[in-house]
Amino acid sequence: MNYTLQFGPIWDNRALILDGFITTILLSAAALVLAILIGLVVGTAATAQGRTGRALSVAYVESMRNIPLLIHMYFWYNGLSFLKIPAFWCGVLGLSLYSGAYVAEIVRSGIGSVPRGQRQAALASGLTNVQAMLFVVYPQAIRAIIPSLASVFSQLIKDSSLASVIAVADITYQASAIEGQTFRTFEIYITVCLLYLALVTVVSQTLTILSGTRDGLARRVADA
């Protein structure tokens, strides 16, 4: 049995694909921003001297990471349907709360990698605790954790495809609709794979460059 690739029907539906791709970018970007904010707050709390802050941080990280992301989505969309939160923002909440737990652990390890003497010296020089964190600890920690954050952010973009199950019209949702109309399953999912590949590669490589480290992709090619 011969199968002939026909990308004509896919091109005819390019407007839907573009709309879905833009929705995926917006969904991922909104979730990334919230995940970073959550991660900074929870990760910093995990390094606090007070036992309460550390306990709350551990409770958040363990509860978020040990619940499947799909359940997070259903919880906001179906479990709390009486709140009438738009599907898009249900997806954002699910992604950000889930990924924020991983960001928090990375932030915690990044802060822990900064020698304690750095913070103590900042405090001794007259800076407040907040100023010491903002101007001394965070800059060093963030530079160290950017490669790890790139991995989490790449995973978040890929995980955003799960939002299609709660009717978020992202690229995966649109692909399913186009496949049902054209029956060109192979062609539409090849297209979606290439778009995800391009998006994740751009994000991960950009963060790698910003980290000031050698390009991971180029290094692997050179070492091959």
What is the pLDDT confidence band of residue 219, given thresholds at 50, 70 and 90? Answer: low
Q: How many other CB atoms sit within 10 Å of the CB of residue 153?
A: 23
CB under 8 Å to 119, separation ≥6 — which residues?
A: 132, 133, 136, 137
Choose which CATH entry (1.20.140.10, 3.40.50.300, 3.40.50.720, 1.10.3720.10) describes domain 8-223. Answer: 1.10.3720.10
Higher pLDDT, 217 or 58: 58
- Report the predicted TM-score, pTM, of the whole model to 2 decimal places: 0.86
For residue range 21-50, what is the model confidence (pLDDT) as tens digits?
Answer: 999 999 999 999 999 999 999 999 998 878
CA distances from 184 to 8, 167, 196, 209 (A): 10, 21, 19, 38
For residue range 73-113, what is the model confidence (pLDDT) as tens digits?
Answer: 999 999 888 889 999 999 999 999 999 999 999 999 998 88
C-alpha–C-alpha distance, residues 146 and 149, integer Å: 5
On whether the CB atoms of residues 64 and 17 are closer than 8 A, the answer is: no
pLDDT value at residue 113? 87
Domains of the chain by residue range: 8-223
